[in-house]
Chains A and B, each alone.
Chain A
Amino acid sequence: MEVKINTQDTVTTAQLIGRLDTPASQEISGDFDNLMKYAAGTVILDCTELEYISSSGLRLFLSLRKAAASKGGKVIVKAINNEIRSVFMMTGFLNLFEIQD
């Protein structure tokens, strides 16, 4: 699992590459801690190359969203595949995030 973070002005994009299962969530939790620093602006989670998300991955997304909400920023989840979209829907989190195709 790989995370590439790129910041331009108030927009931070994190490219998530690979499978976000439980071990991978632990592996990249530091990257999400880092992303929290940008939560006052816009954080785009680019999921073009994200293949899978587990509950632990969802928790990372949620904690980032919570930080953004408290700091007046926003999290955009971009280009999720149908399998991940279905996980968001099945768990009731779909309308919690701004999702861009």
Chain B
Amino acid sequence: MSRTRHLDPHCEAILQEYQDNLPRFREVEQKVKERLRKSFADAGLLVAALESRVKSYDSLAGKLELKGQKYSSLADLTDILGLRVITFYIDDVDKVASAVERLFTIDWENSIDKRKIHEIDSFGYLSLHYICSVPDFPYRFEIQMRTLLQHAWANMDHDTGYKSGVEIPKRYMRNMSRLAGMLELVDDEFSKIRIELTDYRRRVQALVRSGNLDEVAIDGDTFRSYMELEPFSQLNRRIASMNQAEIQEVSLMPYLAVFKGMGFKTLGDISDLIKNYSEGAYQIACYQIGLTDLDIISSSIGPQDLCIAYILKNGGGRAGIKYMFDLLNGESESNDIMAEMLLEQSKDLPFMNTSN
């Protein structure tokens, strides 16, 4: 199991205690992870990784060999069970920390916010460490919380062979400090971008809700906000009512490319499409499924038939329809066959022969 070590009876006793309690450590590891996962999910907090490990026998024996006398029992070692939460954003580290504070008892005396203890001549980009405990388990464990970039730093830092706080040659220190500062800056900038994007989304949602759609340019965010208002639902329900069909809700995000491909600039253009082409779309749907017993449709039937009606009415013809299907389904010759079929079916529909 391990190489020969020179451990005194005191350290051997700690190792034995470790072995006796190993199953409990593993059990607590899973429970702590599960509680963290649930807490993050409840808070809608997306983390990059949640890692954990129970210290191996060899690693513990090595540690005891070096500084076993520091510890009077296994309970003095706080890193037998270690967990690490890696976040995308720097401000999420604090959110994770407050979740950890709510879930576990924190040993504040031994917990370190290494982010706050930078010395002027130190280098590094460090993380937050909490020493925690749970009831009915006499051993403490450590939770490290850091961003992806702090994590990258910690790994690179480790590879240099110098630990933070250890004196390193000055000519290297300057470069290491510059690098740490840059990563800190990047983390801050990512956070700023997220805050600005959130503000932008709020403003857009307010515009969408207030109906000022002509002022809202089409992009992924604005389109998603608009889709939350279910602008096609009335048309979908009308189509479904033909066959008392069930409507399966699907993502309409693929239509973003189609609307852009049709030259639409604002959400107002989509709103106008619904206003002016719903009758045409309904006629297409009537022709296609009205005479069948198909009683299931997807929520994309509305936008699909609206686009078909718009393309046909505006002279886009077979090539226009094929282009739409190519955008939605990937390029294929079969899209041309469907476009031809649609062109044929639609030419006698009433909407094609009325002026808009």
Contact indicator B333/A101 (Cβ below 8 Å): yes
> What distance in Å separates the Cβ of A100 from its nearest Cβ neighbour in chain B?
9
Contact of A92 among B295, B304, B332, B338 (CB under 8 A): B304
Given the interface pairs A54-B293, A59-B296, A86-B341, the reply to whether A92 lies near B301 with Cβ below 8 Å is: yes
A91 vs B300: C-alpha distance in the bound complex, in angstroms?
8
Contacts of A59 in B (CB 8 A): 296
Residue of B nearest to A53 (CB): B294
- Bound: A94/B329 CA distance, A: 7
Interface assignment of B250: CB less than 8 Å from any CB of chain A:
yes
Alpha-carbon gap, A58 to B299, bound state (A)? 15
B329 touches A101 (CB 8 A): no
Q: Which of B241-268 contact A (CB under 8 A)?
A: 245, 248, 250, 254
The residues of B that contact A89 with a CB separation of less than 8 Å are 304, 338
* Residues 261-305 (chain B) with a chain A CB within 8 angstroms: 285, 288-289, 292-302, 304
Number of residues of chain B lying within 8 A (CB) of chain A: 28
Question: Which residues of B211-239 have CB atoms within 8 Å of chain A's CB atoms?
Answer: none
Tell me the complex Cα distance, A84–B4, Å: 71
Which residues of A are found within 8 Å of B298, using beta-carbon distances? Answer: 91-93, 96
| Chain A positions within 8 Å of B301 at CB level | 91-92
- The complex places the Cα of A82 from the Cα of B337 at a distance, in Å, of 8
B254 pairs with A95, CB closer than 8 A: yes
A96, B334: Cβ atoms closer than 8 Å: no
- CB of A97, distance to nearest CB on chain B (Å): 9
Asked whether A92 lies within 8 Å of B293 as measured between CB atoms, the reply is: no
Judged by a CB distance under 8 angstroms, whether B179 is at the interface is: no
Q: Is A99 located at the chain interface by the 8 A CB criterion?
A: yes
A66 CB, min distance to chain B CBs, angstroms? 9
Closest to B303 in A: A92
Q: Please, how many angstroms separate the alpha-carbon atoms of A54 and B289 in the complex? A: 12
What is the CA–CA distance of A87 and B292 in the complex, to the nearest angstrom? 10
Nearest A residue to B258, CB-CB: A95
Contact in complex: A91, B338 (CB < 8 Å) = no
A58 contacts across to B, CB distance below 8 A: 294, 296
* Given A62-B248, A85-B334, A86-B341, also A92-B297 (CB < 8 A): yes
Per-position binary interface string of chain A over residues 71-91, scored 1 when its CB falls under 8 Å from any chain B CB and 0 otherwise? 000000000001001110111
* A55→B295 contact, CB < 8 A: yes
The docked-state distance in angstroms from the alpha carbon of A87 to that of B243 is 14
List, in ascending order, chain A residues with CB within 8 A of B299's CB: 92
Determine whether B36 belongs to the interface, using a CB cutoff of 8 Å to chain A: no
Question: Given contacts A85-B338, A86-B338, A96-B250, are A91 and B333 in contact (CB under 8 A)?
Answer: no
Check A99/B292 contact, CB under 8 A, given A85-B338, A92-B298.
Answer: no
Instruction: Tell me if A87 and B334 are in contact (CB < 8 A).
Output: no
- Given A55-B295, A92-B298, A101 and B289 touching (CB < 8 A)? no
Is B328 on the interface with A (CB-CB < 8 A)? yes
Interface 0/1 of B341-356, CB less than 8 Å to A = 1000000000000000
- Cα A86 to Cα B304 in complex, Å, equals 13
Residues of chain A within 8 A (CB-CB) of B332 are 99, 101
Also in contact, A95 and B294, with CB within 8 A (given A85-B334, A86-B341, A90-B289) = no
Distance in Å: Cβ of A24 to nearest Cβ of chain B: 15
Contact of A55 among B250, B285, B294 (CB under 8 A): B294
With A90-B288, A91-B289: A82-B334 Cβ-Cβ less than 8 Å: yes
Query: Which B-chain residue is minimally distant from A80 (CB atoms)?
Result: B334
Knowing that A55-B296, A62-B296 are A-B contacts, what are 18 other residue pairs whose CB atoms are under 8 Å apart, sorted by A's residue number?
Answer: A55-B293, A55-B295, A58-B296, A82-B334, A82-B338, A89-B338, A90-B288, A91-B289, A91-B296, A92-B297, A92-B298, A92-B299, A92-B300, A94-B328, A95-B300, A95-B328, A95-B329, A101-B332
**5 closest A-B pairs (Cβ-Cβ)?**
A92-B301, A92-B298, A95-B328, A90-B288, A92-B300
